[in-house]
Amino acid sequence: MIAEGEITDAESLKRLDDLEADMVFNCAASVKHFSAGSDIYDTNVLGVQNVLEFATRHGARMIHISTTSTAGEILLASNATADHDRDRADRLFSTAMTALLIFGLLFAALGTAFRGALVAFLCRDESLRGDVAEYCSVLVLGIPLLCYIMSLSYFARSDGSPRLSFQAVLISNLINLTMDIVLMKGFNMGLRGAALATVIGYVGGSAWISRYLASKHRQLRVVSPFGAGIAVFLKETWAICVRGFPTASSQL
């Protein structure tokens, strides 16, 4: 049986009181973290309260589904926004982006400088290390772009633009697959061509997700992450790390 209801409308849930329920699963939520209106509060606070009251009337157990986005930089930025501290929210956004880009650049530099050690770590089979070295020699150069895509995609999703982040990943992969054929088959570049195709895909994905920065509707703005001093930058970077990273970061 399918019954329609709106968790932000307590009366619509009361119309479902004739149904028998011994357990209620609440999966409804507004997953963005920033909004100029009250829609987040209406859904995630008042809506949950309405569902709790529905479950209480039925003597039912309620299972509330949360989200992996309650971690890391987005949690700190959204808390700052809730406290009406827009300057700190913008600084945390910029700090997170900058820190992850620095990480990506360091990874690319160290991965290039210590390629032998990296290859030995990634591949235990010595007969395959030549292929791994050939692939990694190009791929590591694209790590900063991957960091940029994943970090900005996470903020875009939380700021009400989930399609943009999905499109960026999709475009990146489509370019990658297309360039695989062009470089590996057309130019006979082998594994280097496969790695270069991936990096070119990252370039396309980075360009697409950057549209978020041009959006007039976004709640976060780019500011200097060092505006409050290097010490504050390092402190807030550490706070982000302590809070944990979202699941999406594991793709790095």
Per-residue confidence in pLDDT tens, the chain, 252 aa: 567 888 999 998 998 888 888 998 988 887 776 666 788 888 888 999 999 999 999 999 988 887 655 556 666 777 777 677 889 889 989 998 999 899 999 999 999 999 999 999 999 999 999 999 999 999 999 999 999 998 898 888 878 788 898 899 999 999 999 999 999 999 999 999 999 999 999 999 999 999 999 988 888 889 999 989 999 999 988 888 877 555 445 444
Distance CA 14, CA 31 (A): 25
- Going from the C-alpha of 55 to that of each of 7, 24, 40, the distances in angstroms are 12, 6, 22
pTM: 0.73
* Owner of token pair 């032998």: 116
Contacts of 231 (CB under 8 A, 6+ apart): none
CB-CB contact of 211 with 217 (8 Å):
no
Three-class SS state of 159:
coil
Radius of gyration of the chain (CA): 23
